[in-house]
Structure formats: structure tokens, C-alpha cells
Amino acid sequence: MEPSDEALVAQMAQGDRKALSSLYQRHAPKLLGLSMSMLRGRAEAEDLLHDVFLEAWRHATDYVPERGSVRAWLTTRTRSRALDRIKSAARRKSVPTEQPPERSVPAALLDDHRKLQETLLAMPENQREVLLLAYFEDLSASEIAVRLEIPIGTVKSRIRAALATLRDIFGEGGT
């Protein structure tokens, strides 16, 4: 029988590298999908995933099962690190350039993209999480409920609230 996630984290806290490998094999595919949906490319998502598992290795003693599942712990770390990178990239992009980009993008589209990013970052984390899972990982409400280990009604309420926030910002049919 395979050890539980909690047992693997406990073994990691004792320095067991095989436990880290097992945890990685078990959770990396889903976490890679999440990070790819949030970041620009596979290479950046893989780099982020490496950082997340390195952080999990270093902080395995900090994991408290009563606060949530290992999957939720890793997902939260992945999402947080991805958002950190998005914010950091946005700050780096603010440097003006001398030449216009080769491919012109309508200003209204750029403005909508900026507003969407700002809205998502300002949105409560639990709403943003279900919205990203629904739209970028194409998960159903029941799949999200299973993944996050919360009732399906809670998932639907959070999605409804997140969509209402987006409608308030962008209007019923967009801008």
C-alpha cells in the first residue's frame, strides 16, 4: 500500500528524498497544469514547480495536517508563487520602450487585459482559485469540489461571486 501524502511529508521532514520523489510524482502533473494556466510558458511553469517542491522540502516540518490536505498545501504554494511571478513580471514590464511593438494590439484589448489581471489579483483568494480552476483547467464544479475538498455548493457560490465581480467591472457583455 502506498503511503499517504501526510506520511510522505513527515518522511520528508526526516530527510527522506524518496518521499519527496513520490510526492512529486503524485502531484506534479496537476500542479504543472495549474502553473501553466497562470504563467506564460511551460519552461516558466516547470521552473516554478521546481521551486514549489524545493520549498515543500525545506518546510516539510511546517506542514500541519489539521490546517488542510497536502494537496491543498502544495496547490496554495503553487498559486502563491505563480501570482508572485505575475506581479513581478508586471513591475518589470512597466519600463517604457523606445520602439513600438512589431505586432500592434488594440489599446482597448490591452486595457481589458490589465483590468482583468488587477481584478483577479484583488479578488478574494478563494474566489480566484475556483475561477482559475473552472476556466483555465476546465474543471467542473464537482471536480473543483473534489480537488479543494470543499462542498460543491461552496464552489458554486464562490464562482457566482467571482463572476459577479467581473460583471461589475466589465459590464454584462464585456467593455
Instruction: For 33-95, give the DSSP string.
Output: HHHHHHSS-HHHHHHHHHHHHHHHHHTGGG--GGG--HHHHHHHHHHHHHHHHHHHHHHHHTS
* Helix and strand totals (H; E) in the chain: 8, 0
Other CB atoms within a 10 A radius of the CB of residue 76 amount to: 14
Cα separation, 7 vs 16, whole angstroms: 11
- How does pLDDT run along the chain (175 residues), one tens digit per residue? 899 999 999 999 999 999 999 999 999 999 999 998 888 788 899 999 999 999 999 999 999 999 899 999 999 999 988 888 888 766 655 555 555 455 555 666 667 777 777 878 888 888 888 888 887 777 788 888 888 889 989 989 998 998 888 888 777 654 4
Burial class (CB in 10 A: 0-12, 13-18, 19+), 39: buried
